[in-house]
Structure 1
Amino acid sequence: MKFAFLIMGNFDMTMDRATIHGGNAQMIGVSDMQEAAAAAKQLCEEGIDCIELCGAFGAEGAKQIIEITENRIPVGYVTHLPEQDEIYKAVFSK
């Protein structure tokens, strides 16, 4: 299975990339939804089997990636338990 994880932040998708397991697992940093859409479309065209998204995408971002990939592959996104809301807020507001 070929798997990709997209992480959103201060990244450049052309440079902020890593692969392991002979390229079957990829991590790509994107700066915004526009880059994420381009990366997801390219990954889908290259035969990726699954895309996971960092929590910054949220449900709406995941829905956009599902639409971009025409619902042909599984797309998930990372979330956390509500009891850690304050911890997440503290860490990601830095």
Structure 2
Amino acid sequence: MKLAYMLMGHFDSRRDRADMHGGDVQVVGVSSIEDACQTARQLAADGVRCIELCGAFEEAGARAVIAATGGKVAVSYAVHLPEQDALFEEIFG
């Protein structure tokens, strides 16, 4: 099974990528929700079946990626426990 993890930030999705296990696992940095949707469509066309998103996407971003892939790719996003809010605020602002 092919899967991908997307990070959103100051990235260029064409070059900020890493592949593992012969390309079955991919990590891609994207710059925006729009970039993520375009990247997700390409990943789906390349056979990726599951995309995990970093927490910056939140629910709305995850829904946008689901829509971009026509609901044919399993999409989830990372969250953290509320007791770690201060740490995440310190790290990500």
Task: Confirm or deny a common fold (TM above 0.5).
Answer: yes
- Figure out how many residues of one structure are paired with residues of the other and give that number: 93
Task: Map 1:1-94; keep pairs closer than 5 Å.
Answer: 1-93=1-93
TM-score, scaled to structure 1: 0.96
Superposed CA deviations along residues 33-67 of structure 1, whole A, max 9, x for unmatched, are 11101100101111111000000000000000011
Q: Give me the whole-angstrom Cα distance separating, in 1, the residues matched to 2:59 and 2:33.
A: 13
Amino acid at match of 2:89: K
* Structure holding more strand per residue: 2
Secondary structure of 1:12's counterpart equals: coil
Matched residue type, 1:83: E
Q: How far is 1:30 from its partner?
A: 0.4
Q: RMSD across aligned C-alpha pairs, in angstroms? A: 0.6
Distance in 1 (CA, whole Å) between partners of 2:4 and 2:77 is 12
The structure 1 segments of at least 4 consecutive aligned residues displaced by more than 4 Å after TM superposition are none
**Normalised TM-score (structure 2):** 0.97
- Cα distance in 2 for residues equivalent to 1:24 and 1:8: 21
